[in-house]
Amino acid sequence: MSRFDPAESLTPIPAGDRASGQAGTYGAILFDGTQLRQADPRWFDADAWGERAQRVDGSGRGGAWFIDASHGPCVLRQYLRGGMVGRFNRDQHLWRGTQHVRSFVEFRLLRELLRRDLPVPQPIAASYLRRGLGYRAWILMERIPDVRSLADHMAESPADAPLEQTGRLIARFHRAGLDHADLNAHNILFDGVGKGWLIDLDRGALRIPETRWREQNLARLKRSLLKLRGARPEADVEHDFARLRRSYDALWSRGT
């Protein structure tokens, strides 16, 4: 999926002891060695940040915090599970090797997209803690300032929402081969000058652009817009999505 990155550094997290309640738990931190001299496991503990950590409202399954770090505003996210499985297993994932650790995969995907000049947050570090056949994972990334989600725009004024810009933004990422596993209106952001961003690339992947997964991405976004319509008629949302789709198709057909 992504090329070899000589800037990557890996710092082991030694096994914990009984006194800490982490007996038999160990892990690692992945980061860019050209940007950071070292990494600290405490970065991934929201409690360790104290008042400098603020839980993100409406952050899906709840595992995200805004962090006021010394090097700038960040977002800390823990990889939690949803659905039926999440009712009895909130944060444990099956260990399949470090190459499949979800935080590491997203960290590398973000860096690859940045190399391709695509607008995504800058990843700072990713970590995991393993115990037996399971592991927990976190990622720390930059916080994009002064942004609002497409969902917020739609709630305030659907007629003025950046739907055409959204269509062109998605077409750019699709042309680069990004299959976004959870393309919804909350994961599409726009800043004060109208620049669009994609976030939350967990389980995303780079693929050969083809119709099936592109249409699945767009269908998921359409379902998101329908879910957020409130008292608006469904036909209005269909009209909104048609605006988005026309701009998507126009850019896609140009092959750029």
Nearest C-alpha neighbor of 44 from the set 112, 101, 120: 101
DSSP 134: E
Torsion, Cα of 65, 66, 69, 71 (10° steps) = 120
Amino acid residing at 228: L
Q: Residue 30: beta bridge partners? A: 10, 126
Nearest C-alpha neighbor of 249 from the set 174, 183, 167: 167
Nearest C-alpha neighbor of 244 from the set 209, 227, 220: 220
Catalogue the active-site residues: 182
What is the rounded distance in angstroms from the CA atom of residue 156 to the CA atom of residue 89?
36
DSSP 34: T
